[in-house]
Each structure stands twice: as C-alpha cells, then as structure tokens.
Amino acid sequence: MGRLPNITMVALDVALSHQARALAAQYGLRGADAVYAAVAQQAGCTLISLDHEHLTRLGSIVMVRTPAAVLTELVPPTSPSSGV
C-alpha cells in the first residue's frame, strides 16, 4: 500500500501511541479511533469519517468531516443550462 499514490504510511511509534492513549482517555475513544485522531492531529489534517464518535467528540481538536461534506466542497455546483 505504501507505493500507492497519495498514501502516506505513519508508524505507530511511542510518542504517537502516548498521544492516542491520552486522546482515548480524554474523549472516550476506542483504541483505533484514538490512533486515527492522533494521526490527524499530528499531521494537521482533516479526519474524514462516518464514525459518530469522531464527528461528535473530536471537533475541538481536529477538523472532522463526512465524505459527503468533503465531496460537496470538491465538486463545483452545476449551473443551470442556458438552453443553447
């Protein structure tokens, strides 16, 4: 997977695991969910998720968006046909 374009592999090192553990305790997250949050926080990027816990608990520390919300921002609105 690491050779695929636009994929960045992140090692779960000691520092990241401590950050994930702190987020899990503070925000009531399960293990993997806390790792996703820690990676997004460390990278300063948006967490794109359908997970209700992500969407409701993490907004104060990382930007969390649904895939649908991101897609509406990426796809320009279509203009009405000019009839030509």
pLDDT bin (cut points 50, 70, 90) of residue 7 is confident
Domain assignment of residue 19, yes or no: yes
Domain assignment of residue 84, yes or no: no
Q: Tens digits of per-residue pLDDT, 18-54?
A: 999 999 999 999 999 999 999 999 999 999 999 999 9
Domain assignment of residue 45, yes or no: yes
Domain assignment of residue 8, yes or no: no
Instruction: HSE, CB side, 13 Å, CA atoms: give it for residue 34.
Output: 17
Domain assignment of residue 3, yes or no: no
Domain assignment of residue 50, yes or no: yes
pLDDT bin (cut points 50, 70, 90) of residue 63 is very high
Number of domains in the chain: 1
Q: Tens digits of per-residue pLDDT, 9-20?
A: 899 999 999 999
The dihedral sign for the CA sequence 65, 69, 71, 74: negative
Give residue 49's domain range.
Answer: 14-73
Domain assignment of residue 58, yes or no: yes
* Cβ atoms within 10 Å, residue 40: 20
Answer whether residue 62 shows pLDDT above 60: yes
